[in-house]
Structure 1
Amino acid sequence: MVFAHDTEMALQAAVSLVNSAEEPDTMASVADLDAYFEEFAYTGRHRRTQDELAEVRVLRPTLRGLLTADRDDAVRQVNVLLARHHAVPRLVRHDEMDWHLHAVDDEQPLATRIAVETAMAMIDVIRTDEMSRLDVCADDDCNGVVLDLSRNRSRRFCSTTCGNRNAVAAYRARQADRV
């Protein structure tokens, strides 16, 4: 594990949300938002409305900018997000999770909680100088964000689909060279 569990979950959730904007959009319905809420074990208020979905969708470019920023710009963006949402870190324990950080009340809107949890996770990324763990997909036809939590820092593609497409293209190129 590169980071604490809550940091990794928040980063994975942020990357998933940002990449949901790629075609096909996978955050298009309240059901998609419900699945995201469950997959990343969010707690607190979840209104399950079109308005909440719209608030979360609007957050995607902000998170993309944060996840793909250089270290100094990421610091600026983290500080803006934490100040905007009046984040006050506190230790909490719930469900199966041991002590971890929350920085806004569980009754705050889901989009606010996602933004602040991402900013809190980025604090760990910045402080450990691990910005290289975040990148843009190596597939020329994709703009997805890659979170590389591997030990050898070998992840280059945002999804198995992009990785497979590139592996097949490389294979075909090698085969064509043989002819």
Structure 2
Amino acid sequence: MHINPYGTYAVQLGVDLVNRPPQTADELGTRCAAAGLVVDWDSTDNDLVATREFLADWVGVVDASTDSERADRLNVLLAAATAYPRLTNHADDGWHMHYRDPGISLAGVIRALVGVGTALHLTGRGMSRLGRCAAQNCENVFADVSRTGRQRYCGTACSNRDAVRRHRARAV
């Protein structure tokens, strides 16, 4: 049973593709499949280009300075990506919802999946649950899935590195 196929994994796919941009169409398809997306077509160079363009726009949602600006930017992406919700059992793994038209390209699927996943993430967990790593010299984005909603770093390595930097600054 699928409770929400557009949940955390969808926004995390966007984060992963932004932080480590795929270099080839094959890599894009492989990484989408590894993230749990049913990829039943070949990814193309056009998919790679369109996905990069979408992610550049999606980062604008991450970098928005207010909740209203974040919602406005995401609404633009959703309007370009989604269709009416529909039931599907396309992979014979159970009925679930899709927010995209059938037969679209991988880039179109990514646009719809990450867009709707981001909307569900923000409305379900809080509008501030996307951000950039607070560590010096790190530009990575993150989707805050922590229990407290206070994530500031993209991962443990940056958190630890920043803690050491702060400790050394106090010791001087």
State which drifts further: 86-95 or 56-65: 86-95
Separation in structure 2 between the aligned mates of residue 163 and residue 39 of structure 1, nearest angstrom: 26
Query: What is the CA deviation profile of residues 59-115 of structure 1, one whole-angstrom value per residue up to 9, with x for unaligned ones?
Result: 221111123333222332333233323511123346596554311134211121111
Q: Offset of 1:35 from its aligned partner?
A: 3.0
Q: CA RMSD in A?
A: 2.8
Q: Hey, what does 1:71 align to over in structure 2?
A: 67
Q: Please tell me whether the aligned partners of residues 55 and 111 of structure 1 are also in contact (alpha carbons under 8 angstroms).
A: yes
Matched, 1:109 2:105: yes
SS in 2 for 1:169: helix
CA 1:140–1:36: 2 relative to 1, 3 Å: same
Q: Hey, what does 1:153 align to over in structure 2?
A: 149
State which drifts further: 132-141 or 4-13: 4-13
Q: Please tell me whether the aligned partners of residues 6 and 100 of structure 1 are also in contact (alpha carbons under 8 angstroms).
A: no
CA 1:139–1:56: 2 relative to 1, 3 Å: same
Q: Hey, what does 2:29 align to over in structure 1?
A: 34
Q: TM-score, normalised by structure 2?
A: 0.79
Matched, 1:124 2:86: no
Q: Hey, what does 1:58 align to over in structure 2?
A: 53
Separation in structure 2 between the aligned mates of residue 73 and residue 82 of structure 1, nearest angstrom: 14
SS in 2 for 1:168: helix
Matched, 1:144 2:133: no
Q: Which amino acid aligns with 2:109?
A: R
Separation in structure 1 between the aligned mates of residue 76 and residue 133 of structure 2, nearest angstrom: 26
Separation in structure 2 between the aligned mates of residue 96 and residue 153 of structure 1, nearest angstrom: 36
What is the number of equivalent residue pairs in this alignment?
169
Q: Offset of 1:161 from its aligned partner?
A: 3.5
Matched, 1:84 2:73: no
State which drifts further: 3-12 or 145-154: 3-12
Q: Hey, what does 2:10 align to over in structure 1?
A: 10
CA 1:169–1:96: 2 relative to 1, 3 Å: farther
Amino-acid identity (%): 31
Separation in structure 1 between the aligned mates of residue 94 and residue 62 of structure 2, nearest angstrom: 26
Separation in structure 2 between the aligned mates of residue 161 and residue 168 of structure 1, nearest angstrom: 11
CA 1:17–1:148: 2 relative to 1, 3 Å: same
Q: Which amino acid aligns with 2:14?
A: A
